[in-house]
Structure 1
């Protein structure tokens, strides 16, 4: 089989996997191409907090020596890991000076599963401090070094369009996967809450925290979903078919409680996406979501989200606070000190309300093949110390619904503005298949 026409670092995970499986390239040769690309670009992008080149090459040589019949389904594919996810052979520092040089010596569940599948764990990508603060590392957007790539999964997002790695891992409490994916023009998936184990990942709010993945193609998201054994459990679902006629799909353009926060670029992106899908044969209609008069308004929803997350974060960071609060950002100290005076009664009510709303949201989502919604408020802000708002993401995170970012549009300054597709809980594979069908015309015509 002939080798690729261009540099190996340009390959998606699926493309690289095909070459590796057919022995057209070695893992070492592939790894060297990625390392060279990182050497060329990371002085500006600054996506990596830990990367040991010698360790990467040793890993790659070990993988090359595995007999063909014993190689895993992800053999040799490089993966970047957000630095809040434990890795046995690399430091995990949580973006915090309190954890400088910290190495637990064991893999998070997600990393262990990927290693068992043959993945090459390339290094640790930057994050904001313990995934909470809205500023932090000097990671830049590969599209414009004077703009943020978003956070908190900033390095995982920035490394992909810089062609430094084909897959990266992240986490989302509010919008930490989908917003950076929108700012950097990559595919990303936040699965249904807890369909992938968060064991070994630094927690902020267990009710919201969700592991996720970023990639440069929808096919690569499918590849990772299969590695993690995601199943919808409904073989009769028409969306389980490999090829879905667009005329069979219904798309709800939702009016969520947060719709008033959308900027002009995002409003335009949603309109364009809806028009493209309608022209392509989909049944597209506007819908209030969820379709229930009992659903909270914007102000009530924002308060409920804040109470739920802050109440749990207070417990999550007590350890760090007690060890040395002087090494923590003041915003984290305020969470532990409960500076907003959140009561247990208010927290219990917020969590109970969210629990009830999930069934309402699933019922509304079941009326359509997919929901179309913004991925971010607008383009990435100027500067590196405001990573943008999670206003367009937190609703879906709290409802535990799977979300996929589709990279397709640009704003007034030529920066990416993307759209999200959402489905009901535990319809992750169905969402990927629908996203695969819809992303074709949207990406092709998006601009």
Structure 2
């Protein structure tokens, strides 16, 4: 068997269930990989190997109650953990110890998962300080953000599952950059209690894995409606809308190649594909998402401004002081446009089963300050439906570029089943290696 740290979560789960692998052996393998790679990748802000091994040993003593039993998880360090610091990658929060787990951590821990450690993040998952994390394949490049450490850790074989969050594109974009899978579920289906809030109307907790089945394991844990009960359809039975979005002018060569390759592979597999041009109103969604994000961020960082004062970074001062001058009328217009487009988007699924769109403009950008453009994510986040990132190809610089499948609100189970059917087609390079 390959080193346990390189197994998909689903494969590791089966091995644990069959008695071929223990949680302790899996956790030790992950820790060995981290020890080898941490100096280069810097994915983790907190790691306690002794505590992780002790937790795994304890899990090995218990009856198996879910498919997450014994599997290690990385947790983005703006999500609370009762037994580890939550620092938000903020100088002002170093050493902060929450009293209890965030709800999402509590769910997976209760189902037998082992919380391996806390992964680096852009400050407050919003702005300010960047993560120290580097791209696993090229340290001169960013792994994306704000879920920087989670995306890099899963992409580098350091852990097979990790939590991320998305307000603009902070979950799906790093998945594209790191050549891994991710699910941003329907907004509101996973509790955000215990995670730092940036924008109430947008923030969504999601997760990374190395296969669609990995994503399903976690979706089952959160009891997303219908997950595990909808079989994967035959590819030839599906109709996929190819959506370049109103922002196609910002695509890069790597993103254009990934989109074209995915469409070509689907067509060769017998999938019915058609170009999907969104109504003109959708062209305003990027600005609407920005308005809501900054408008709600004003409230989210007001306490930080009043408590921290001059110690607070300029990005957050600007948000709390409404430097963009966002008015109530602009907020109302943005929310109204989002509501109009959500209804219109749902109606499109009378024609198609899922929408295929770019997951990022292209490859991971050079340097660590630029975590990537979220222009191909923001509108979908605002529409509140599920998004699922699938690896596709390598860009001109040899770094991964993925695509995403998008569904209507509360169709998470359907999107996961469609992704299970189409991922082996789209992610042909990974499939050929397995």
Residue equivalent to 2:244: 255
Q: Provide the rounded CA distance (Å) in 2 between the counterparts of 1:366 and 1:131.
A: 36
Give the TM-score normalised by structure 1.
0.93
Residue equivalent to 1:323: 307
Alpha carbons 2:285, 2:337 under 8 Å: kept: no
Selected match of 1:341 from 314, 322, 325: 325
Q: Provide the rounded CA distance (Å) in 2 between the counterparts of 1:439 and 1:191.
A: 17
Match runs of 1:367-386 below 5 Å: 367-386=351-370
My pick for the range that moved more, 134-143 or 335-344, is: 134-143
Alpha carbons 2:230, 2:413 under 8 Å: kept: no
Task: Identify unmatched segments of 5+ residues in structure 2.
Answer: none
Q: Provide the rounded CA distance (Å) in 1 between the counterparts of 2:54 and 2:129.
A: 34
Residue equivalent to 1:433: 417
Aligned residues: 431
Alpha carbons 1:232, 1:426 under 8 Å: kept: no
Q: Provide the rounded CA distance (Å) in 1 between the counterparts of 2:428 and 2:244.
A: 25
> Cα distance, 1:255 vs. partner?
3.4
> Cα distance, 1:132 vs. partner?
0.9
Matched, 1:155 2:149: yes
Q: Aligned-pair RMSD on alpha carbons?
A: 1.6
Alpha carbons 1:135, 1:386 under 8 Å: kept: no
Q: Provide the rounded CA distance (Å) in 2 between the counterparts of 1:241 and 1:110.
A: 24
Match runs of 1:29-40 below 5 Å: 29-40=25-36
Match runs of 1:212-231 below 5 Å: 212-231=206-225
Alpha carbons 2:285, 2:338 under 8 Å: kept: no
Matched, 1:406 2:390: yes
Alpha carbons 2:285, 2:382 under 8 Å: kept: no
The Cα offsets for residues 227-266 of structure 1, whole Å up to 9 and x where unpaired, read as 1101149x9xxxx642411111001001321122111221
Q: Provide the rounded CA distance (Å) in 1 between the counterparts of 2:12 and 2:99.
A: 29
Q: Provide the rounded CA distance (Å) in 2 between the counterparts of 1:135 and 1:100.
A: 13
Matched, 1:303 2:287: yes
Runs of 4+ in 1 over 6 A off after TM superposition: none
SS at match of 2:401: strand
Residue equivalent to 2:200: 206
Q: Provide the rounded CA distance (Å) in 2 between the counterparts of 1:225 and 1:146.
A: 34
Residue equivalent to 2:163: 169
> Cα distance, 1:366 vs. partner?
3.8
Alpha carbons 1:150, 1:387 under 8 Å: kept: yes
Q: Provide the rounded CA distance (Å) in 1 between the counterparts of 2:96 and 2:352.
A: 46
Selected match of 2:131 from 137, 143, 154: 137
Matched, 1:78 2:72: yes
Q: Provide the rounded CA distance (Å) in 1 between the counterparts of 2:123 and 2:311.
A: 11
Selected match of 1:58 from 54, 60, 70: 54
Residue equivalent to 2:406: 422
Q: Provide the rounded CA distance (Å) in 1 between the counterparts of 2:339 and 2:312.
A: 32
> Cα distance, 1:23 vs. partner?
2.2
Are residues 56 and 445 of structure 1, via their aligned partners in 2, closer, same or farther at CA, if it must alter by over 3 Å? closer
Matched, 1:387 2:371: yes
SS at match of 1:95: coil
The Cα offsets for residues 312-363 of structure 1, whole Å up to 9 and x where unpaired, read as 0000011111111333221111011111111112112211221222111111
Matched, 1:93 2:82: no
SS at match of 1:433: helix
Alpha carbons 1:189, 1:214 under 8 Å: kept: yes
SS at match of 2:20: coil
SS at match of 2:427: helix
Alpha carbons 2:89, 2:124 under 8 Å: kept: yes
Give the TM-score normalised by structure 2.
0.96
Q: Provide the rounded CA distance (Å) in 1 between the counterparts of 2:320 and 2:421.
A: 45
